[in-house]
A and B are shown apart, each in its own frame.
Chain A
């Protein structure tokens, strides 16, 4: 079983729509959780950290469910510029190693 698993998509949505997707992680002792964004042929960039109580950053909402070991990302009012691959990232130990999911591809169409 992979450490971090994501639905690869693609999720094709119209502008203005809401899209949501999850990832699951295998290690119940995982410490920190993040969503990174990666545009085509570019480097990953931090989108947002995920806190136990859930958190929002503009149109983006992240949730953490420790009991079921999954993380979710919801994008409201999708923009064309939201088209990207979203990487679920988990820190599974008390060090700086991160485990990356394979990514969920989102395409927003006009």
Chain B
């Protein structure tokens, strides 16, 4: 079975440009998470969805960041305008439905560099 799929794997852009990261969760998983990882701050949760509905976006750094999940098999994280401090690895993860907390399966990540 395919795991979590993310695209692109690498993105290099210039400051001020719009960046869109994409994620396809594992089929049947109804939780989807967006994380950002940097050396300075480690792995941070940005936002998570349940059944396509955003549940907690308190980790989104500022209004330049937005995330959508139009259907169960697709989510986007958009940064507009991008800044050099947004350079990081962005991971998408998904989790199956469960009464109790369940394992999160991570995608390979998108390595973003903003020049």
* Contacts from A to B (Cβ < 8 Å): 31-32, 42-46, 87, 91, 95-98, 100-103
Contact = CB atoms under 8 A, between A and B. Distances in A.
B108 A32 contact: no
Contact of B95 (A42, A96, A101, A102): A96
Contacts, number: 37
13 contacts: A32-B100, A42-B108, A43-B91, A44-B91, A45-B106, A46-B103, A95-B56, A96-B33, A96-B50, A97-B48, A100-B42, A100-B43, A103-B42
Nearest to A46: B103
Interface of B: 31, 33, 42-45, 48, 50, 55-56, 91, 95, 100-101, 103-104, 106-109
Contact of B106 (A32, A44, A91, A103): A44
Nearest to B109: A43
Nearest to A91: B101
B55 A46 contact: no
A45 B91 CA distance: 12
Q: Which of A87, A95, A98 has the most CB of B within 10 A?
A: A98
B36 to A, nearest CB: 11
B48 A87 contact: no
